Structure 1
Amino acid sequence: MGTRSTSWKKRGWRWVVFAGSVFLGMLLMLALLQRKLIYVPDSRPVELSDALSVCELTEDVKLDVAPGVQLCGWHSRCSPQERASKRLVILFPGNAGNRLKRVSLLEQYHQLNCDTLIFDYRGYGGSAGSPAESDISDDSLKVWDFAIEKLGYQPSQIICSGQSLGGGVATRLAWELSQRKTPPAGLILTATFSSLADAASVHYPWLPVKALLVEKYPSAERIRNVDCPLLVIHGKQDRIVPFELGQRLFEAAPDQVQGIPKTFVELPQAGHNDILHVAAEDVLHAKRAFFQQLGDD
C-alpha cells in the first residue's frame, strides 16, 4: 500500500511540474512574441490605383520619421477644388491590414466634407521598420506636424480619429497635444479599448497579461486630460474589444470640453469589423452631428 501511495505522489508531482512548465512556457511566449500577436500587418506596398473610389482625389505622401524609416500614406481631399474643405481627419487604423482596407472610411469622411490623412504604421503597407507602441506614438506626432507644416492645416481644423488599436494611438496623440496646449479640434474613437491590457485580459483571463505586456496603450488614464470634444462609437456585439471597455473609456473622459458634452453612440447590431457594413448611416449621422457641434473653423 505504501509503495502504491508513493507512486501516485510521484505521478502527481510530475503532472504539477508539467503543468507549471506549460504555464511558464505560455508566459515566456507572451513576453517574447507579444508584438507579433498585437500587430498583424499587411506589409505589401499599396498602389493608389487600387483605391478606385477615391484615387482621383488622393495623392501618395511620404514621411521620414527616423533614419532609414519612411512611412507611406495618402492625403485625400473631399473635393477636387483646392482647399475646399475646412477640416482634416487624421486616421489611425486598427492592428491589421493596411490603408487600402480603410478606403470606406475615406469615402465616409468625404461625404462629411472632410479631407483625410492616413499613414501606415511601421511595417504596414510599404512603410519601413517594425511596429511598437513607443515608435508609433512618436510617429503620430510627426504626422500631426506634417499636416500643419506641409499640408497647411491649423490645429483647430484637425480631428484625430482612431479605430480599435488606432484609438489608443489617437488618444495618446490628443493627450500629448493637450499637454502642449495645442489640442486637436476633436477626437473620434471607434471600437477601441480602455487599455490594451484590459482587452488582452478578456481574451487571456488565465494569464497575468497586465504584468507582462510591454505595449499597454493606457487610454483611460490619458483621456482624463484630453482637452478636446469627444465622440465614442462602439458596437454592442463587439467580441474583440468588448462593448464594456468602450464604456469604461468613455466614462473616464471629461463630461464636456469647450462647452461640448462628450457623446457615446451605441450600435446595437454591430460587431468589431463590420461597423460600416451594419451601421454606416448611424455612424455618418453621429459624425455629422459631432462636426456640427464643433462648428466652422
Structure 2
Amino acid sequence: MPLSTFLLIITIPIALYLLFIIHLYLVQARHIYCPTAEIATTPDKHGLTFESVDFETSDGLTLHGWFVPRSTVDVEKERVVLFFHGNTGNISDCITSLEMFHHLGLATFIFDYRGYGQSQGSPSEQGTYDDAEAAWTYLLRDRGIKSEDVIILGRSLGAAIASAQAARHPPGALVIESTFTSAPELAAEIFRIFPARLMSRFKYRVRDHVARTHCPILIVHSNDDEVIPFHHGKRLYEAANEPKAFMAISGEHAEGFHTSGQQYIDGLKQFLKSAL
C-alpha cells in the first residue's frame, strides 16, 4: 500500500472525529435549551385562578410567570411551590402540574427562564441561576412569603436549577425530579467515545448542590427514564443530607409524575406532611 494511501486512510477518520467533537462543543446550548415563545394556554382555561406576573433579574431582564393561589384558605399558612420547569417549551406546558398542586391545597409560582415564553433574553447556565434568584426574591420581597413556607420543586433541567437555588437559600422543602448528577457526567454516559467531560460547557453540578443543601429533600426518579438513567437519582439521594426521601416512579422522562398518578400524589403529600 502506498504511503499516501495509508496516511489518507488514517487521516480521514481522525479528521471526522475531531470535526464531530467541534460540532458537539458548538451546539451544546441548542440541545440543553429548547424554548418556545408561544403561550399555548393559560390556567384560567383549566379552571384555575391566576395572576400574570412580570419581575426583573439582577441584570435587568424582565421575566414572566404565573402565580396560582391555593384552593383553600382554611389552613394557617400558605405554602407556595416555586416551580422550575424542564428545558423544553414554556410554562404553558405545565398546566397538569399546576392543577395537581392546586388540588393539594398549595399555591404555585411558575415562571419562564430568560429566552423562554414571554421572558426576555437568551438562556445560559449562569442566567438560569440568576433567574431562580429573581423568582425567589419576588416571592419573599414582593409577596411576603416566608422562606420556610416555600417548596422548591424542579423537574429535569429545572431540578438542576432548583437544587442550586436551595443550596443558596434553604426553603421549607426541596423536591427534585428526573434530573442528573451533573451535566458532564450525563454527557460522558451518552457520548462514551468522546471526551465529553472535558467538552461540556455546561456544568449544572446537581450532586454538589444537593450535598450543600440543608432542608428536607425528596428525590423522585422513574425506573423507565430513557433520557436520564435511574442511577442518577439514586446517587443524588446518597449525596443528600438528612432528612431525605426517595420516590421511585414509572413513566418516561419528566412524565412519571403524570404516569404514576396517585402514587406520585400520595408520595408528595406524605413527604410534605413530614417536612413542613
Per the TM superposition, whether the score is higher than 0.5 is yes
State how far apart, in whole Å, the 1-side matches of 2:207 and 2:98 are: 27
Question: Could you list the per-position Cα deviations for residues 29-65 of structure 1 after superposition, in whole angstroms to 9, with x for gaps in the alignment?
Answer: 122221111111112246536x52144x111100121
Contact 2:83–2:153 at 8 Å: present in 1 too? yes
CA contact (8 A) 2:220 2:248 kept: yes
Distance 1:172 1:228 in 2: 13
2:246 partner SS = strand
Q: How many angstroms apart in 2 are the aligned matches of 1:91 and 1:293? A: 20
Aligned to 1:192: 179
Gaps of 5+ in 1: 178-182
Alignment-mate amino acid for residue 23 of structure 1? Y
Please report how far the alpha carbon of residue 125 of structure 1 lies from its aligned counterpart in structure 2 after TM superposition. Answer: 0.8
Q: Which residue of 2 aligns with 1:180?
A: none
Q: How far off its partner does 1:294 sit?
A: 2.0
Task: Report the count of equivalent residues.
Answer: 276
C-alpha separation in 2, matches of 1:226 and 1:151: 24
Q: Distance in 1 between matches of 2:59 and 2:213?
A: 31
Distance 1:253 1:193 in 2: 14
The SS at the match of 2:57 is strand
Match of 1:34 in 2: 28
- The residue aligned with 1:207 is 194
User: Could you report, residue by residue, the CA deviation over 1:125-148 in whole angstroms, capped at 9, with x for unpaired residues?
Assistant: 111111101011011111101001
Q: 1:33 to 1:152 in 2, by over 3 A?
A: same
Residue 16 of structure 1 deviates from its aligned partner by: 2.0
Query: Can you list the C-alpha shifts for 1:157-187, whole angstroms capped at 9, x where unaligned?
Result: 001101000111010001111xxxxx10010
Identity %: 29
TM-score by length of 1: 0.87
| SS at structure 2 position matched to 1:52 | helix
Instruction: Find the aligned partners of 2:176 and 2:136 in 1 and give their Cα distance.
Output: 17
Q: Take 2:19 and 2:184, find their aligned partners in 1: how far apart are those partners?
A: 20
Q: For residue 285 of structure 1, report the CA deviation from its aligned partner.
A: 0.5
* Residue among 49, 53, 56 paired with 2:46: 53
Structure 1's consecutive aligned runs of 4 or more residues displaced over 4 angstroms after TM superposition are: 80-85
Bigger shift: residues 22-31 or 151-160:
22-31
- TM-aligned CA distance change 1:83 to 1:145, over 3 Å: farther
Q: Aligned equivalents of 2:75 and 2:144: distance in 1?
A: 10
Corresponding residue for residue 6 of structure 2 = 12
- Kept in 2: contact 1:77–1:85 (CA 8 A): no
Cα distance in 2 between the residues matched to 1:12 and 1:176: 57
Q: Which residue of 2 aligns with 1:280?
A: 261
Bigger Rg, structure 1 or 2: 1
2:152 corresponds to which residue?
A: 160
Counterparts of 1:41 and 1:151 in 2: how far apart (Å)? 27
Residue from 201, 205, 229 that aligns with 1:242: 229
Unaligned runs of 5+ in 2: none
Aligned to 2:247: 265
Shift of 1:66: 4.9
Would you say the 8 A contact 1:168–1:218 is kept in 2? yes
Deviation, 1:78, is 2.1
Cα distance in 1 for partners of 2:162, 2:26 equals 26
2:208 maps to what in 1? Answer: 221
SS at match of 2:27: helix
- Which amino acid in the other structure matches residue 120 of structure 2? A
AA of the residue aligned to 2:247: V
